[in-house]
Amino acid sequence: MDILSLKGRFADLFGGGDDPRVFFSPGRVNLIGEHTDYNGGYVFPCALTFGTYGVARERSDGVIRLASVNFDTRVEVSADDLRYDKAHGWANNPKGVAVEFTKLPGHPKIPGFDLLIHGNIPSASGLSSSASVCVLVATILNAFTGAGLSGIETALLAQRVEHNYIGVNCGIMDQFAVAMGKAGHAILLKCDTLKYEYVPVDMPGYKIVIANTKKPRALTDSKYNERVYECQAALSYLKNRLPIQSLCDVNPRDFELYKHLIPSPAQRSRAEHVIYENERAFMSVDALREGRLDEFGKLMIASHNSLRDLYEVTGPELDALVEESLAAPGVIGARMTGAGMGGCSVAIVAEDAVNGFIRRVGEGYERRVGHPTEFYIADIADGAGEALPE
Ligand code: GLA
C-alpha cells in the first residue's frame, strides 16, 4: 500500500484534521554472528528496505488508538491504562513502548496518539517484524514527546519492551540494526559495549538472497529463552576459573582448556557454538573488507553447521533450505539467520545465477518439506526515522 493510500486509510479510520506524520522502520537480516548478542559478542546485521510504515497524529486527550493494515485487531486505550492484554495481539507492542517511555527520566507524559501501521515484512519470517514495530513506535513517541532519545537509546528502549512487557529475553541485535541501520552497509556491533562500525557491503556481481521457510513460529514459545538460560548456566561454570563477564569474553583456546568445567553436555555445546561463532563474525568482516568473498561464504556455512549441531536451532526446514542453496550453482555461502527454528535463510548468490537459484531451491524445498518457500533479494536500508526508504 503506498503512502497516499495509507494516509487515506488513516483519515477514514481516525478522521481528517491535521496532516499526520509518516515514519518508517526497517526489518533486518543478520549476515553472521548468531546467538552471540545476549552473550556479549559480535553480530553483523543490516537493515532492509522492507519494514513497517506508521502514519501517526498526536492527540491531547491521552487516548491511544491503534490500527494495522495487516491485522483486524483495533485497540483504543487510555495512556493511563496500558496493561498487557492478550486479546490486543500486535497492539501490545506499541502499548509496551508507551509504558517504557513513561519510565524514562523525567517520566515523559504520553500525549495520546492515533496510529495506523502497515508492515511489509513477511510475518513470522524472523526478519524482526516485532523490533521493527517497537522501534517505529519509539521513534514516533520520541518525536511527539521531545524525549530526545538517540538511536541507540531508542534501540535499548525497544529491547526493554521485549524483556519487560512481551517476555522475550532477546539480545540487542534486532533493535540496534533497525534503529541504527545505514543504506549499503552492515553493522559490526559488539553487543556488550555497543561499540559499532558500519562496513560497506560491497559484493560486486553478488546478491544477498533471503528464503523463507514459512514455518509458523513464535519466539515466545520457542526454545529461545531456554538457550539464553543454558548460556547463562555455562557462563557461571567458566566464571569459576576465568575473569569473564560474558561467554564471548572467552577465546577458543581458553574454552578448550576449561570446557570440562561445564558438566552438562548440552550447555557445553551451546557455549562452544557461541564462542566460535563470535570468532567467525569478526573473521567474516575482515574477509568482506578484503574482498575474500569465498572465505566469507565458508564462514557462513560453518555458522549454519554449528547452529544445527551445537546450538540445535535449525530444524528440517532451515536445513533443507540451506542444503538446497549450497547445491545450487553460483552460491558461495548460505546459513539460517535470526533466532532459527523456522524463519529465513540467507545466501550469497552470483547475480547471473539468481533466477536459476530461485527456481531450483524453490522446487527442491517444496519437494522436501511439502510447502513452498518465498524469496526476497535484500536491499540494505537506513534505520528508522521520518524519512521513507527510496
Ligand atoms: C533473535 C533475537 C536477537 C538474537 C537472534 C539470534 O532475532 O531477537 O536478539 O539473539 O535471535 O542471533
Could you tell which of 30, 36, 37, 133 is best to mutate to test the pocket of ligand 1, judged by most ligand atoms within 8 Å of the CB?
A: 37
Least confident of 20-34, 158-172, 212-226, 235-249: 212-226
Which cell numbers in the block locate residue 72? 483486524
Task: List the 195-200 sheet strands across, edge first.
Answer: 42-43, 185-190, 195-200
- pLDDT score of 219 more than 60: no
Give the domains, in start order, of the chain with CATH numbers: 3-200+381-386 (3.30.230.10)
Task: Tell me the C-alpha distance between 18 and 11, whole Å.
Answer: 10
Residue located via cell numbers 530444524: 315
Q: Which tens digit of pLDDT belongs to each residue from 142-166?
A: 999 999 999 999 999 999 999 999 9
120 Cα: distance to centroid of ligand 1 (angstroms): 20
Q: Which tens digit of pLDDT belongs to each residue from 174-202?
A: 999 999 999 999 999 999 999 999 999 99
21 Cα: distance to centroid of ligand 1 (angstroms): 30
pTM: 0.96
Q: Which tens digit of pLDDT belongs to each residue from 282-291?
A: 999 999 999 9
- What percentage of the chain reaches a pLDDT higher than 90? 91
Q: Which tens digit of pLDDT belongs to each residue from 356-370?
A: 999 999 999 999 999
- pLDDT score of 390 more than 70: no
Those residues with Cβ within 8 angstroms of residue 292's Cβ, 6 or more apart along the chain or in another chain? none
Which cell numbers in the block locate residue 25? 522502520
Secondary structure (DSSP) of 267-284: HHHHHHHHHHHHHHHHHH
Residue 202: active-site member: no
Task: Give 88's DSSP letter.
Answer: G
- For 34-46, b where at least 16 C-beta lie within 10 A, e where not — what string? bbbbbbbbbbbbb
Catalytic residue among 37, 114, 174, 319: 174
User: What is the three-class DSSP state of 46?
Assistant: strand
Q: Mean pLDDT, to the nearest integer, of 216-235?
A: 83
Ligand 1 nearest-atom number relative to CA 162: 8
Q: Which residues line ligand 1 (CB under 6 A)?
A: 34-35, 37-38, 170-171, 173-174, 338-339
Q: Which tens digit of pLDDT belongs to each residue from 45-96?
A: 999 999 999 999 999 999 999 999 999 999 999 999 999 999 999 999 999 9
- pLDDT score of 324 more than 50: yes
372 Cα: distance to centroid of ligand 1 (angstroms): 25
- For 304-338, b where at least 16 C-beta lie within 10 A, e where not — what string? bebbbebbbbbbebbbbbbbbbbebebbbbbbbbb
Ligand 1, atom 9: closest residue by C-alpha: 171
Q: Mean pLDDT, to the nearest integer, of 262-268?
A: 98
